[in-house]
Structure 1
Amino acid sequence: MTRSVYVTGIGRGDGRQVVELGVMELLTRQVDRVGVFRPLMHDGPDRLFDLLRSRYRLSQDPSTVYGMGYAEAAALQAEQGRDALTARLVDRFHEVAREYEAVLILGSDFAETNLPAELGINARLANECGASVLPVIGGIDQTAESVVAEVRNAYLAYTNLGCDVIAVVANRVGTAEAAEAGRRLARRPEVPVYVIPEEPALSAPTVAQIVEALGADVLLGDDAGLSRDALDFVFGGAMLPAFLPALTPGCLVVTPGDRADLIIGSLAAHSAGAPPIAGVLLTLDERPGPDILALAARLAPGTPVIAVAAGSFPTAAELFALDGKLGAGTPRKAETALGLFETHVDTAELTQRLSVARSERVTPMMFEHTLIERARSGRRRIVLPEGAEERILRAAEVLLRRGVCDLILLGDEDAVRKKAADLGISLDQAGVTVVDPQTSPLRERFAEQYAKLRAHKGVSYELAYDVVADVSYFGTLMVQEGLADGMVSGAVHSTAATIRPAFEIIKTAPGAAIVSSVFFMCLADKVLVYGDCAVNPDPDAEQLADIAIQAAATAAQFGVQPRIAMLSYSTGTSGSGADVDKVRKATELVRERRPDLAVDGPIQYDAAVEPSVAATKMPDSAVAGQATVLVFPDLNTGNNTYKAVQRSAGAVAVGPVLQGLRKPVNDLSRGALVQDIVNTVAITAIQAQGETPARQQGEGDTQ
C-alpha cells in the first residue's frame, strides 16, 4: 500500500516549502518511486514542484501532480458542496498513488484562495487519502509563548478532525524564541514537535528573483552571480569614504546609475572580500559608460550589475516587499533549506514515524542520500588542498550548508577568499578555516616531522621546509598529525601528487600489503563495488587477494554485503594460462586468509552478475549471479570496464575511494563535477568515523 504524507498548515507565511523539501528528502532515502500531489493550485509556475522534479529526478508527468485550480475548486464547492469537491480531488490522488511507493501531498497555502474553512478541507482530504498529517505553523515575529500556543492549536485542530498527526513543525521562529519554544514544547508528549529557526538566506530574494520582479536589465553578471542571496539592501547617497563602512556581507547596493564612485568602490570592496556583496542595482535609468562597465567587470567578474528605470524610493518599496522562494533556479537555497531541516528535525525519528518501508532497490540517489546522512551523523574535519579551485569552493558551500563536515581549505588566503567572493560564497561562517601553508606556523612543525620521516632518504630540514609548503604535503601532514580527519584532492592535481605524500607520510594500515582503490558503481537498482580501477597496474596474486579483502571491507563499511567475484576471461576450470592462474591463486589466498568471506573465481563478468548465466556456468556457486564486489585482474581491464559501464549503462561512478591507508585520503578525477566532490568528501568523512576524531582545534592550531 502506498504511504502518503500530507504537509499542511493553518495560515500563511509558514515557510512550509522547507518542510516539504525535507520530507521529500527523507522519502527518497527510503524508496525509489516517490510521487507528488498538490490538490489545489494557483495559476502560474509551481516553483516547488519544479525544484522537486529537478533535484530528485522525478519522472512524474506534471499533468498528474495537480487536482484543480482554486477558482475551479471554489466554484465546485459552492455549486455541489464539499463532498463533491473532496471526491474529485481524492480520485485524482489515487491516479498518482497507484504508480508510486510513497506520495508527498502538498496542502493548500491559505493565500487568496477564496475557500471557506480551508483547514477543514485539508483535514478531510488527508483522511480520505489515508495520509498522515504533518502540520506546519509559522513563528515569524511571534513570542515563544505564542509559538507554543499555535503548535497546540494546530495539533488539536487536525486531531479533532480525525487526522493522524505524526509531528508538528514550528518554522521561521526567531533565534531567541526558538530555544525557549523548543524547551517548552519538549515537555509535550503527544507527538514530536520540531522548532526550525528563521534563516535570513531563505527569506532573502536572489538577485535573479529581483531582476524578474523589477523587470531589471542585467548589465553585468553570470548565472552564479545572479543566484546570490540579497541578504540586505544598502542605499548609496553618501560619498565613498562614508559609504563603504555601511556595506554588509551579502548586501545589494542600490544607487543612482550616475554614481560611478559608489559602483566601483562597492565592487572593489567585494573583490577584496571586505565585504562580499550580492551585486549592484542602478536606479533612475542611468547607465555607466563602457569604460566604467569594463572596469567593473575586471574588478569583480560575475558580480551582477543591474539597472531599473525607477527612482530609489519606489525601487526600495518593491525590494522590501520581496520574499525569497525555493525553486529549481535556487539550488543554493535548497541546500540551505535541507541543512536547516536536518539540523533542527530529528530525521531518524521522523523517518520512523513516516513508516515508509525501505525499498530493496538501491538507486544512485538513495546511495548518495545515505552518504550525506551518514557523514552528518558523526561530523568530521576534512582538508581540501585545492582551496582556490571553483569546483572545490562550490562543493564546500554545499557541504557546509548541509552540515556534512567541517572543512579546511588550503591556499593563499587572499586568493581563496577573492575567488569565493567572486562566486558569492561566504567563508566567514562556522565550520570552515582557510590556511596558507606558506605562512602557517605549522610549517616549521611539519618540516621537522617530515625530515624525521624521510631522514633515511637524505631529506634535511631545509629541504623539508620547502616540501611541506606544497598543499598536498601540508594537507597530508594535517591528517597525520590529527589536525584533520581526512583529505580529498585531485581536482587539479594528478593522482601521483595526491597519493605520493600519503605513501610517504601516512603509509599503509596494519595488515594491508598495498594501497588500492574501488569505485562504487550505482546502477539503476543496486550498487556494485569495482576494484582496483585506479592505482595498481598489474597486481600479482598476493596483491590481488589483498585488493579483494580490502574491497570487501570497504563494501561492508558502506552497506554493501560483500560477495566477491575474482574476474578473469574464463570461468571455473574452463581456461588456463598465466593470467587465469594468477586469479585462481588469488582466490585461494582470499579463502585462506578470510574464510568468512564469500568469494569465487576465476569467473567471467556475465557469470558473476547475471543469474541465468551463472546457472549454466557455475550452478553451485554462492557468489555467481549475485556478486557485489568485482575484482579485476589488472588496471587496464578495471579502468576500461568501469568507464564503459558508466557511459553505456548510465551508472553513477563514485570514487576512486582509496583503501589500505592508515588514515583516509582520497583522490578526485580532474574532471570531477561538484556532486562528485561532495560525494567523495562524504565518503572520506565516513571512513574517518572509524578513526579517532581530530582534536577540536582553535584558530591558532590550524593557522
Structure 2
Amino acid sequence: MTRSLFLAPVEPHAGTSLLSLGILDYVLRKTRRVGIFRPVILDQSVDKHDKTIELLLHHFHLEQTYAQTYALTTSEANELLARNQYDQLLNRIIAAYQELERRYDFVLCLGSDSNHELSLFEFNLSVEVARSIDSRVLLLSNGHGRSVDDIAATLQQIRDAFHAKGSPVIATVVNKVEPERVEEVRSGLIADLAIAADQLFVLPGDPVLASPMLREVAEQLNAEILYGSDQLDRQARRVMVIAMQMDHYLDRLTDHALLVTPGDRGEILLSAILAHQSANYPPIAGIVLTTSERPSPALARLLDGLPKIPPVLAVNSETYETATDLSRVRSHITVDSPTKIAAALQLCEQYIDGEALEKQYGQIEPRGISPRLFLYNLSQRARSNRRRIVLPEGEEERILRATEALIRDQIADITLLGDPTTIQEQVNALALDLDLSQVQIIEPGNSMRLAAYSQTLYELRKSRGLTLEQAHDLMLDVSFYGTMMVYKGDAHGMVSGATHTTAHTIRPALQFVKTRPGISIVSSVFFMCLEDRVLVYGDCAINPKPTAEQLADIAISSADTAQLFGVEPRIAMLSYSTGDSGAGEEVERVRAATELAQERRP
C-alpha cells in the first residue's frame, strides 16, 4: 500500500524545501520508490522549474521526470474554474496522483507554497485534495516573530478545516522560531492546541538558511557583477551600509557581511577588499556599489591586478533604496547550495522525530539496506562513538569542505595536516563556515611529535637499512606522518587520496602497520552506493592478480568489512566465466579460492 503525506504550508516562506528535504531523507532510508507531487504549479514553473521540486528531484536522484510531479498549471486550473468544472479539476489531480501511487511506496504531496497569504481557493483546494487522495496532513507554520497565541489561533483554524473534511492532521511543524524561544513556543502550543508532544515539532531559525547567497542577491537586485563571478555561492549573513571613514568601519566588520556603499567611494571599496584579504580581519561576503557609479579607470586597473577579490556588485539605485531592497531578498535552498542542504538536513534530524512521524502516517516496509540508510547509519554510529580522523591533505579544497560538514554535523574530531596560515587563507577564500579553533592543525615539520615519530619509524625499519636521518625525512611527508599518528594511537583513522595516488597513500601502512594475524595480504574494498542497494567490491585497487589463497583472504576480509559497516555479506566470486561453462587458469583460480573461502567460513 502506498503511503502519502500532504505537506500543507500555513503561511508564506514557512520552509517547504527544508521540511521536504528532511522527510525524504528519512523515507529514502526505507525505500527508493519515492515520488513527489504538487497538484497545481505556477505557470512560470513549467519553463523555469519550481525550486522545491527541482531540488528534491536532483538532490535525491528520484526516478521521476519534472512533468510527472504536477497535475495542472494555475492557468489550466483557472480555466476549468471559469467553466465551472471544479470536479474536472479534482479528477485531473486525482488521476495524476494515482499514476504515482501505482509506481511508488511513498508519495510526498506539496501544498501551495506561494509568496503571499493563501487565497481561499488555494486553501480549500489543499483541503479537498488531501481528502480526495486519502493523504495524512502535516502542517507547516512560520513562527518567526510571532506570539504563541497568534500561532495557535492560526493552526487551530487550519486543523479544524482539515478535520471537518475528514483529513486528519497527524503533526505540526513550526519553523523559524527564535532559538531562545523554541521551548517556550513548543510547550505553549502543546497546551493551547491540546496535542501530544510527539505531534508537534518546533525548529529554530538558522542563519545559514536565512542568509541569501550572492547569486540570489545579484538576481533579485538585477545587479551587474563587476568582480568575483566565480564566488557567488558566498552567503550574506549581515548587511552593512558603509558611509564613514575607513578607520571607523573596519573594526565593525563581521564574518560574511555584505557591504553597501556609493560607487564613488573608491577608498571604501579598496580598503574593504584589502581587509578581506588580510588575516587580521574577517572575510566578507561581498560589496554592493550604489548610485550607478563605477570604479574609475585607475582604480579598476588596480583592482584587476589584485588576487582573490570578493564579489563586487553594482546597482543603479540609491544607497538607502538598495539597503531596503536587500532586506527583501529571499533565501532559497537550491540544487547548487550544498551548505544550505546540509544545514536543512541537520536541522530536521535534530528537531524532528522521524520514527514518531512515521507511526502517524503508516510504517514503510524497508527493502534491504538502501544507500541513504547505509550512510545515515554510519553517521549515527560515528556521532555516538566519536573518533579522531587525520586528513593529510589539509590544504585541499575538497578536504576543507568535508571538514566543514564533519564538524558541523559532529561526526568526528578532525586533524588537518598542512600549513596553518595556508589553511586559514583557504577557508577564508572559500567562505567556509568552519571555525578552525575546533580543528587540530599540524604542520609535520614543526610538530612536537616529529622526533618521536622519526625514532619509532627508525626502530621499525632499521633492519631494512633505514637511517634515523632518512626516517626524519620520510616523516615530513604527510602520508607517513598521518599513518604514524594512527599507528601510535594519536588518531583512530586516516583518509587520504584527494591529491595523492593510492600507492603513495598506502605505502607507509605497508611498511610499518602490516596486516592483522591470520591474513596473508593487504587488500582494499570499495563501497558502491547504487540506486537501491550497497555493494562491496574487493579488491579493485591493490592486487591486480592475486593467487587463490590470496583471493580467499580478500573475500573473507571484504565480508568482514561489509559486516562491520552494516551490510549483510553474501559473497560472489567473479571470473570471466559463469557456472561450469568455462575452463582455464583464471577460472580454476577463482574456483579454488571459492573452496578455500568456504572451508574457512562455512
Alpha-carbon distance in 1 for matches of 2:362, 2:489: 41
Kindly state the Cα deviation for residue 566 of structure 1 after the two structures are TM-superposed: 3.0
- Equivalent in the alignment of 2:318: 311
Structure 2 partner of 1:35: 35
Which residue of structure 1 aligns with residue 226 of structure 2? Answer: 219
- Give the one of 550, 557, 573 matched to 1:550: 557
Residues 343-377 of structure 1 deviation map (CA, whole Å, 9 limit, x = unaligned): 22233443454535346477xxx415531443244
Aligned residues: 591
Local SS of the residue matching 1:176: helix
Amino acid paired to 1:335: A
**Per-residue CA shift, 1:469-515, capped at 9, x if unaligned?**
32222322333344433221111112122112223454323433322
Tell me the CA shift for residue 189 of structure 1.
Answer: 2.8
| Counterparts in 2 of 1:370 and 1:155: CA distance versus 1, 3 Å | farther
Instruction: Assess, with a 3 A threshold, how the Cα gap between structure 1 residues 93 and 385 changes in structure 2: closer, same or farther.
Output: same
| Equivalent pair of 1:70/1:113 in contact (CA under 8 Å) | no
Alignment counterpart, residue 410 of structure 1, candidates 409, 417, 438: 417
Contact 1:233 1:254 in 2 (8 A): yes
Following superposition, the deviation at residue 304 of structure 1 comes to 1.4
| Equivalence map 1:214-293=2 (5 Å) | 214-223=221-230, 225-273=231-279, 274-289=281-296, 292-293=299-300
TM-score by length of 1: 0.75
Q: 1: CA distance between counterparts of 2:592 and 2:554?
A: 13
How many percent of aligned residue pairs carry the same amino acid?
A: 39
Which residue in the other structure is 2:349 paired with? Answer: 342
* CA deviation profile, 1:114-145 (whole Å, cap 9, x unmatched): 63275454233212211121111222123567
**Aligned pairs (5 A) from 1:434-473:** 434-454=441-461, 456-457=463-464, 464-473=471-480
Distance 2:199 2:307 in 1: 47
Match of 1:3 in 2: 3
Instruction: Describe the superposition over 1:22-44 as per-residue Cα deviations: whole angstroms up to 9, x where unpaired.
Output: 11222333333322221233343
The secondary structure found in structure 2 opposite 1:533 is coil
How far apart, in 2, do the equivalents of 1:465 and 1:154 lie? Answer: 71
Give, in whole Å, the separation in 2 of the partners of 1:137 and 1:114.
12
Structure 1 equivalent of residue 146 of structure 2: 142
Q: 1:109 aligned to 2:109? A: no
For residues 547 and 88 of structure 1, do their structure 2 counterparts lie closer, same or farther at Cα, with a shift above 3 Å needed? closer
Moved more, 538-547 or 467-476: 467-476
SS at match of 2:138: strand
Q: CA 1:297/1:193 → structure 2, altered by over 3 Å: closer, same or farther?
A: farther
Match of 1:503 in 2: 510
Distance 2:155 2:417 in 1: 46
| 1:652-692 CA distance string (max 9 Å, x none) | xxxxxxxxxxxxxxxxxxxxxxxxxxxxxxxxxxxxxxxxx
Q: Give the SS at the match of 1:564.
A: coil
One-letter amino acid of the counterpart of residue 107, structure 1: G
How far apart, CA to CA, are the structure 2 residues paired with 1:358 and 1:184? 35
1:646-661 equivalence runs, <5 A: none
Contact in 1 for aligned 2:12/2:117 (Cα 8 Å): no
RMSD of Structure 2 on Structure 1 (CA): 3.4
Please tell me the residue identity of whatever aligns with 1:520.
Answer: F
Aligned residue number for residue 174 of structure 1? 178
Decide which moves more: 479-488 or 247-256. 479-488
Determine the C-alpha separation between the residues in 2 that align with 1:403 and 1:317: 37
What whole-Å deviation, never above 9, does each CA across 1:554-579 have from its counterpart, x for those lacking one? Answer: 23334543332333445566666554
Alpha-carbon distance between aligned partners in 2 of 1:430 and 1:29, rounded to the nearest angstrom:
34
* Partners of 1:168 and 1:191 within 8 A in 2: no
Kindly indicate whether residue 27 of structure 2 is the aligned counterpart of residue 20 of structure 1: no
Aligned counterparts, 1:49-64, within 5 A: 49-64=53-68
Given candidates 399, 402, 410, the residue that maps to 1:395 is 402
Alignment CA distance shift 1:72-1:522 (3 Å): closer
- Among 90, 93, 97, the alignment partner of 2:94 is 90
- The 1:254/1:150 distance shift into structure 2, 3 A limit, reads same
Tell me the residue number matched to 1:614: none
Measured in 1, the distance between the counterparts of 2:256 and 2:391 equals: 25
Aligned-partner residue type, residue 110 of structure 2: L
CA contact (8 A) 1:32 1:361 kept: no
Kept in 2, the 8 Å contact 1:405–1:431? The answer is no
> Can you give the 5+ residue segments of structure 2 that lack an aligned partner in the other structure?
none
- Could you tell me which amino acid in structure 2 is paired with residue 549 of structure 1? I
Q: Is the 8 A contact 1:376 1:403 kept in 2?
A: no
1:565 matches 2:572: yes
Q: State the distance in 1 between where 2:520 and 2:482 align.
A: 24
Pair 1:374 & 2:378 matched: yes
The answer to whether the Cα contact below 8 Å between 1:173 and 1:195 also exists between their aligned partners in 2 is yes
Q: CA deviation at 1:230?
A: 0.8
**Which string of whole-angstrom CA distances, capped at 9 and with x for unpartnered residues, describes residues 404-450 of structure 1?**
54433321111112122222213227864443333344445544544
**Is the partner of 2:568 in helix, strand or coil?**
coil
| Distance (Å, rounded) in 1 between the aligned partners of 2:437 and 2:351 | 17
Give the superposition deviation at 1:8: 1.1
How far apart in 1 are the matches of 2:14 and 2:118? Answer: 19
Question: In 1, are the aligned partners of 2:30 and 2:367 still within 8 Å (CA)?
Answer: no
SS at structure 1 position matched to 2:504: helix
Aligned 8 A contact 1:110 1:118 in 2 = no
Q: 1:440 to 1:44 in 2, by over 3 A?
A: farther
CA contact (8 A) 1:222 1:302 kept: no
Q: Is the 8 A contact 1:70 1:114 kept in 2?
A: no
- The alpha carbon displacement at 1:309 in A equals 1.5
Where does the alignment leave 5 or more consecutive residues of structure 1 unmatched?
Answer: 596-703
1:592-629 Cα deviation digits (max 9, x unpaired): 2111xxxxxxxxxxxxxxxxxxxxxxxxxxxxxxxxxx
TM-score, normalising length: structure 2? 0.87
- Alignment partners' CA distance in 2, 1:154 and 1:502: 62
Counterpart secondary structure, 1:326: coil
| 1:315 Cα deviation from its structure 2 partner | 0.6
Q: Secondary structure at the match of 1:555?
A: helix
Distance 1:496 1:152, change over 3 A: farther
Shift of 1:523: 4.9
Q: Give deviations 1:35-63, integer Å, cap 9, x for gaps.
A: 22212333433111121222223453433
Determine helix, strand or coil for the equivalent of 1:17. helix
Q: 1:47 aligns with which of 47, 51, 55?
A: 51
Alpha-carbon distance in 1 for matches of 2:470, 2:189: 61
